[in-house]
């Protein structure tokens, strides 16, 4: 942002110098030559020097404007990329939150099933239905834990990929 402000300041300064040079050219062209005097060679040289300066300033101005345009485009591209990364990270976090909720639910079911199985075993009544229910809850808990692990890996990957891309672009 400081570069853009500096470039804009330089462009404004160059434009002022160009305007002053044009005013000097107008004054030199509009001033009548004294009668009987030969055309002033130094005046012509000065006009040529001013025209050369004007051309240089126009070139410098064009270069500065191009740099400002390039900086603005770069800034807009970075903002767009940052917005896209933010959307991706939000989606990843939402997915991770959903998987964590699923894991918590599966663990709660597992705890309930195990408590019921322990109570049945203490009563001396081993019910196959409770054992099956406990095993299914444990299996669901394992699946949910795996999904949470995968979601965490995706979140880490999503955070690292933009960093690696930025590093590649910098090189």
Q: What is the pTM of this model?
A: 0.48
Model confidence band, residue 109 (pLDDT cutoffs 50, 70, 90): confident
Q: Which pLDDT score, from 0 to 100, does residue 48 have?
A: 87
**What per-residue string of b and e applies to 50-60 under the rule 16 or more CB within 10 Å gives b?**
beeebeebeee
pLDDT digits (tens, 9 = 90+) for 64-97: 999 999 999 999 998 998 898 888 888 888 888 8
pLDDT digits (tens, 9 = 90+) for 96-108: 888 888 888 888 8
Q: Which pLDDT score, from 0 to 100, does residue 1 have?
A: 61
Quote the CA–CA distance of 37 and 1 in Å, as a whole number. Answer: 55
Q: Is the dihedral of CA 145, 148, 150, 153 positive or negative?
A: negative
Coil, helix or strand at residue 127 = coil
pLDDT digits (tens, 9 = 90+) for 17-42: 888 877 877 776 665 555 445 456 67
Mean pLDDT, residues 141-152: 85
**Cβ partners under 8 Å of residue 14, min gap 6:** 57, 60, 61, 64
Which residue bears the tokens 């000065």? Answer: 46
């Amino acid at each position: 942002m400081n570069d853009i402000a500096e470039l804009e300041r330089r462009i404004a300064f160059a434009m002022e110098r160009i305007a002053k040079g044009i005013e000097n050219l107008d004054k030199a062209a509009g001033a009548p030559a004294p009668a009987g005097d030969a055309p002033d060679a130094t005046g012509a040289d000065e006009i040529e020097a001013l025209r050369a300066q004007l051309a240089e300033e126009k070139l410098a101005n064009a270069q500065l404007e191009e740099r400002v345009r390039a900086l603005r485009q770069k800034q807009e591209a970075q903002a767009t990329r940052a917005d896209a990364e933010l959307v991706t990270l939000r989606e990843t976090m939402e997915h991770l939150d959903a998987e964590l909720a699923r894991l918590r639910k599966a663990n709660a079911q597992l705890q309930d099933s195990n408590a019921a199985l322990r109570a049945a075993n203490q009563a001396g009544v081993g019910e196959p239905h409770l054992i099956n229910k406990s095993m299914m809850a444990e299996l669901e808990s394992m699946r949910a834990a795996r999904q949470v692990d995968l979601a965490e890996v995706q979140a880490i990957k999503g955070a690292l990929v933009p960093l690696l891309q930025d590093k590649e672009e910098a090189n």
